[in-house]
């Protein structure tokens, strides 16, 4: 399931050609709503606000509303379903808000392993990691 993981990486973060994690979901605190939703004190990683919401959708869907206000979408029936769908893998059975957006347990665990633990990914055909194989949607 390496391809899926690759797609998840691409879906959840941005990679430059060298496999370095750049422009990470270390969201700039521009958007008013969610940006820093992890109130817990994270020590080990650099104490930067970590969310996985900014890289997923441009819209404010899946964003946790600060007040539990009603959804402004014209279809409230589907909106309740949307709030249960994982923003990453579209799994209809999400397990709640994780790292700033609605996500399933699997995507949450992936995000935790990847971002919080600062994992690096590289192509196995390029073990040195010198960007011979850029990590994008193409098969290398």
Q: Rule CB under 8 A: which residues touch a second copy?
A: 1, 3-4, 38-42, 44, 86, 89-91, 93, 104, 106-107
Q: Give the nearest distance from C-beta 112 to DNA in angstroms.
A: 5
Answer whether 73's CB lies under 8 Å from 81's CB: no
Tell me whether strands 14-15 and 101-102 are parallel, antiparallel or unpaired: unpaired
Contact partner at residue 100 from DNA, a second copy, none, CB < 5 to 8 Å by partner kind: DNA
Sequence-distant (6+) residues with CB within 8 A of 127 are: none
**Contact between 80 and DNA per CB under 7 A:** no
Q: What residues contact 91, with CB distance under 8 A and at least 6 apart?
A: 85, 104, 106, 107
Look at residue 137 and give the partner it binds from a second copy, DNA, none, a contact being a CB closer than 5 to 8 Å depending on partner kind. Answer: none
Instruction: From residue 64, give the alpha-carbon distance in Å to each of 25, 41, 59, 91, 94.
Output: 16, 20, 12, 18, 14
24 binds, among DNA, a second copy, none (CB under 5 to 8 A by kind): none
- For 103, phi then psi, to 5°, come to -150, 160
Q: Which is nearer to DNA, 105 or 132 (CB)?
A: 105
- Which residues of this chain interact with DNA, rule CB under 7 A? 1-2, 4-6, 8, 33-34, 37-40, 42, 44-45, 50, 95-100, 104-110, 112-113, 116-117, 121, 124
């Amino acid at each position: 399931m390496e391809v899926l993981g690759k797609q998840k990486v691409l879906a959840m973060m941005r990679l430059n050609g060298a496999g370095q994690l750049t422009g990470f979901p270390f969201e700039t605190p521009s958007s008013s709503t969610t940006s820093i939703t992890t109130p817990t004190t994270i020590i080990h990683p650099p104490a930067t606000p970590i969310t996985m919401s900014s890289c997923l959708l441009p819209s404010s869907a899946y964003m946790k509303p600060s007040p539990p206000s009603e959804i402004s979408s014209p279809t409230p029936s589907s909106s309740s379903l949307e709030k249960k769908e994982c923003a990453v893998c579209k799994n209809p059975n999400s397990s709640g808000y994780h790292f700033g957006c609605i996500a399933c347990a699997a995507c949450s665990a992936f995000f935790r392993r990847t971002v919080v633990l600062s994992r690096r990914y590289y192509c196995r055909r390029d073990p040195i990691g010198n960007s011979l194989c850029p990590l994008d949607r193409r098969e290398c």
